[in-house]
Amino acid sequence: MQRTTFDFQDSVVLITGGGSGIGAAVATAFLQAGATVAVTGRRRERLEQVLAPHPAERGLALPADVSDGAQVRRLVADVVERFGRLDVVVSNAGVNAPGQITELGEDEWAAMRAVNVDGFFHLAKAVLPHLASSGGNLVAVSSVSGDRGDWGQAGYNATKAAVTNFVRSLALDWGSRGVRLNAVAPAFTLTEMTEGVGRDEESLAPFVDRTALGRPGEPGDIAPAVLFLASDAARYVTGAVLAVDGGTSASTGQPPG
């Protein structure tokens, strides 16, 4: 992963879903940029692996389930108590249950809503007062599918659309208090969650064919965009959804031929 040129010395960052994939790449990038980073997720060992290469005093692993509002409130309180402030929050935790709506179980739909939508709700509600105190910001990891439709992904797309509109609406509500909210919108990215498709060339091909750059995304492609939105370089950017998708959203459909 390329080292970022952003400077987050003296910044305290909280990242959900920080044990793997995009969340782990974002955590590593912030640590390389000098930040103190708290990572949360359901598997402590994965969180500790992300933090292990970096100074112990600048990392904190806090297992939590973002779908549980009480756990999220306790998580945020623990971070503020430990470090005294909160400057950047990255809402990255997410799950997916692809398939046609007629094949999507009610329990799968409930699980996606609980993590992707309720998780963002609980997190935003808990952190926004702290971010107002520090003049901080929140960056959500949404999806290009949150702004449009996609085949066989209706449930997931609906949850990401909710996240995208949460970001836009909260940016309006909290801008006067000095808080910025933005989102990155990746296309298909090779992570633990997508490894089943990523390992199968035939399954992966339709996603690659939609990109101008001719390859799927990687977590290291997404992390620098998150740091940009969290940095002073984006001090006049709020309510934005930045596509980091290899050109996917520039197209109206599949390539000809």
Residue 165: C-alpha distances to residues 25, 81, 140, 202 (Å): 25, 31, 11, 33
> Count of alpha carbons within 13 Å of 176, Cβ hemisphere only?
3
Give the tens place of pLDDT for each residue, 3-37: 557 999 999 999 999 999 999 999 999 999 999 99
Of 137, 147, 143, 142, whose CA–CA distance to 170 is shortest?
Answer: 137
Give the tens place of pLDDT for each residue, 98-107: 888 999 999 9
> Count of alpha carbons within 13 Å of 85, Cβ hemisphere only?
13
- The catalytically annotated residue of 156, 166, 174, 188 is 156
Instruction: Look at the chain and count its residues.
Output: 257
Of 23, 27, 20, whose CA–CA distance to 4 is shortest?
Answer: 27
Q: Judging by DSSP bridges, how do beta strands 180-186 and 137-141 pair with one another?
A: parallel
Residue with tokens 């390539």: 255
DSSP assignment letter at 189: B
Residue 29 CA to residue 224 CA, distance in Å, equals 7
Of 62, 76, 197, whose CA–CA distance to 130 is shortest?
Answer: 76
Q: Which amino acid is at 50?
A: V
Active-site residue 156, yes or no?
A: yes
Of 230, 218, 242, whose CA–CA distance to 34 is shortest?
Answer: 230
Please tell me the predicted confidence (pLDDT) of residue 257: 47
Task: Specify whether the CB–CB gap between 97 and 145 falls below 8 A.
Answer: no
Please tell me the predicted confidence (pLDDT) of residue 217: 79
Q: Which amino acid is at 8?
A: F
E strands, 32-145, are 36-40, 59-61, 88-91, 137-141
Q: Global pTM?
A: 0.91
**Domains of the chain, earliest start first:** 12-243 (3.40.50.720)
Phi and psi at residue 127, to the nearest 5°: -95, -25
Residues of the chain whose pLDDT is less than 50? 256-257
